[in-house]
Amino acid sequence: MNTPLDALWMPFTANREFKLAPRLLSRAEGMHYQTPQGRLVLDGTAGLWCVNAGHARPRITEAIARQAAEMDYAPPFQMGHPLAFELARRLVELTPEGLNRVFFTNSGSESVETALKIALAYHRLRGEAQRTRLIGRERGYHGVNFAGTAVGGIGGNRKLFGSSVGGVDHLRHTHDLGRNAFSRGQPEHGAEFADDLERLVALHDASTIAAVIVEPMAGSTGALMAPKGYLERLRALCDRHGILLIFDEVITGFGRLGAPFAAQHHGVKPDLMTLAKGLTNGCVPMGAVVVRQSIHDAFMQGPASAIELPHGYTYSGHPLACAAALATLDVYAEEGLLTRAARMHPVLEAALHSLRGLPHVIDIRNTGLVGAVEFEPREGAAGRRAFEVFQACFEAGVLVRATGDNVALSPPLIVSESQIGQIVDTLRQAILRLH
Ligand SMILES: Cc1ncc(COP(=O)(O)O)c(C=O)c1O
């Protein structure tokens, strides 16, 4: 590529290091990317946890092209178009029973902001306007907008910005290497971490707390599975104290853990859920918030001529995104992809845990079609081992994701057994070269 690279300020990227040795992708199909030089790279990360059905599925790309020609855009405020209604209807056939009202956004970050605003407004409408506190969890990632950054639990994502959203507190994270290292599926220990909510209730009083937001599986900080019993306990405590429970299912939604949503995988129903990524197979930006009907109905009071929720985006329910999402849901249904990760779980588990005992490997985790290998941090260079493994794998033709001292895997849900073997073999070779 001859284009100079300096004009682009890249997101969540070490810009200077990257531009010295760029890693570029220029084509994609099925399970593979291609570099501009024509080198094939097996996608071990579904892009960025989003291309769940694999790349360039004709059904999806053709639906987008058709829609672009038929109607490129329609305003979503005080106007509608049929695909948005159809998509909402199709979505609530998949979501847990009772979570059946859908608000469209354009990203996971916007879904988080939207869900938190709905939570605050809901309490206000019910005469509990003092419930303004938002509770997140350490090592949580909820996107990059102001409230998402505030409830997020990644110190590095917050330190440059201060906290301009007040009234936020955090549960402790659940990553307990001492007791749970090399867990297969959900870790045995740690349900009691949910009791942190009782401590925060004692500290702040329940009457000040609007909502708790957690990822059912913390994806961005290294695929941290919820310990057995943890989500159930959190649900019970939220119920006891009248606090809304929000599951951020931006990563776990659309089949990643082996059920359409983590809520179903774990048998725990949140009050609101945030979605994005796999909703359109990553083809067109789109997010959604799905809420319990009674939350939606609390807004449907007063004169019918009033706008009930003064919130929305120019591109909420964009026609191209709706077309992509509807075609994506068709592909998921026809190929049984939303439950395929449950069948592939043992395959990934056996392959990944064969890396146990390699130098520097201090933990291996897996569930559904998610896996992670954690490395002992190199003295004075935290995160470098995972980054070097990511680089070596890319050079050897496999895309994995480095985050902190973890390498995470989340291949498209169409991945074959032999491709899982290729990913793990490539990882093994890369790990063996670490110092
Ligand atoms: C759990 C979770 N929430 C929110 C987001 C933010 O989504 P987006 O990057 O689409 O804004 C992400 C992105 O990785 C995520 O993993």
SS (H, E, C) the chain: CCCCCCCCCCCCCCHHHHHHCCCCCCEEEECEEECCCCCEEEECCHHHHCCCCCECCHHHHHHHHHHHHHCCCCCCCCCCCHHHHHHHHHHHHHCCCCEEEEEEECCHHHHHHHHHHHHHHHHHHCCCCCCCEEEEECCCCCCCCHHHHHHCCCHHHHCCCCCCCCCEEEECCCCCHHHHCCCCCCCCCCHHHHHHHHHHHHHHCHHHEEEEEECCEECCCCCEECCCCHHHHHHHHHHHHCCEEEEECCCCCCCCCCCCCHHHHHCCCCCEEEECHHHHCCCCCCEEEEEEHHHHHHHCCCCCCCCCCCCCCCCCCCHHHHHHHHHHHHHHHHHCHHHHHHHHHHHHHHHHHCCCCCCCEEEEEEECCEEEEEECCECCECCHHHHHHHHHHHHCCEECEEECCEEEECCCCCCCHHHHHHHHHHHHHHHHCCC
For ligand 1, whether the C-beta of 108 sits within 6 Å is: yes
Q: At 365, list the tokens.
A: 């985790």
Task: List per-block mean pLDDT (blocks of 10 residues) for the chain, which spans 435 residues.
Answer: 90 98 98 98 98 98 98 98 98 98 98 98 98 98 97 93 88 98 98 98 98 98 98 98 98 98 98 98 98 98 97 98 99 98 98 98 98 97 97 98 98 98 98 96
Distance CA 133, CA 123 (A): 11
User: What is residue 2's predicted lDDT score, i.e. its pLDDT?
Assistant: 76
The separation between the first and the last C-alpha atoms of the chain, rounded to the nearest angstrom, is: 32
How many Å lie between the centroid of ligand 1 and the Cα of residue 270?
A: 18
For ligand 1, whether the C-beta of 254 sits within 6 Å is: no
Best of 220, 225, 257 for a ligand 1 pocket test (most atoms within 8 Å of beta carbon): 220
212 touches 246 (CB < 8 A): yes
- Determine the atom of ligand 1 nearest the C-alpha atom of 110: 11
How many Å lie between the centroid of ligand 1 and the Cα of residue 109?
A: 6
How many Å lie between the centroid of ligand 1 and the Cα of residue 250?
A: 6
115 touches 289 (CB < 8 A): yes
φ/ψ region of 139 (left if φ > 0, alpha if ψ in -120 to 50, else beta) reads left
Best of 49, 51, 141, 274 for a ligand 1 pocket test (most atoms within 8 Å of beta carbon): 141
Q: What are phi and psi of 343, to 5 degrees?
A: -75, -30
For ligand 1, whether the C-beta of 216 sits within 6 Å is: no
The sign of the torsion formed by the CA atoms of 320, 325, 330, 332 equals: positive
For ligand 1, whether the C-beta of 220 sits within 6 Å is: yes
Residue with tokens 């992670």: 372
- For residue 385, give every residue at least 6 positions away whose Cβ sits within 8 Å of its Cβ, in sequence order, or none: 360, 375, 376, 377, 378, 405, 434
Q: Which of 367, 352, 157 is nearest to 251 (CA)?
A: 367
- Determine the atom of ligand 1 nearest the C-alpha atom of 277: 10
For ligand 1, whether the C-beta of 142 sits within 6 Å is: yes
User: What is residue 166's predicted lDDT score, i.e. its pLDDT?
Assistant: 85
For ligand 1, whether the C-beta of 215 sits within 6 Å is: yes
Q: At 54, list the tokens.
A: 């694999």
- For residue 2, give every residue at least 6 positions away whose Cβ sits within 8 Å of its Cβ, in sequence order, or none: none
For ligand 1, whether the C-beta of 251 sits within 6 Å is: yes
Decide: pTM greater than 0.95.
yes
How many Å lie between the centroid of ligand 1 and the Cα of residue 426?
A: 27
User: What is residue 162's predicted lDDT score, i.e. its pLDDT?
Assistant: 81
For ligand 1, whether the C-beta of 250 sits within 6 Å is: yes
Residue with tokens 């936020």: 168
For ligand 1, whether the C-beta of 109 sits within 6 Å is: yes
User: What is residue 1's predicted lDDT score, i.e. its pLDDT?
Assistant: 63
71 touches 82 (CB < 8 A): no
For ligand 1, whether the C-beta of 298 sits within 6 Å is: no
Distance CA 133, CA 204 (A): 9
How many Å lie between the centroid of ligand 1 and the Cα of residue 220?
A: 8
How many Å lie between the centroid of ligand 1 and the Cα of residue 141?
A: 7
Q: Which of 64, 85, 81 is nearest to 327 (CA)?
A: 64
- Determine the atom of ligand 1 nearest the C-alpha atom of 145: 11
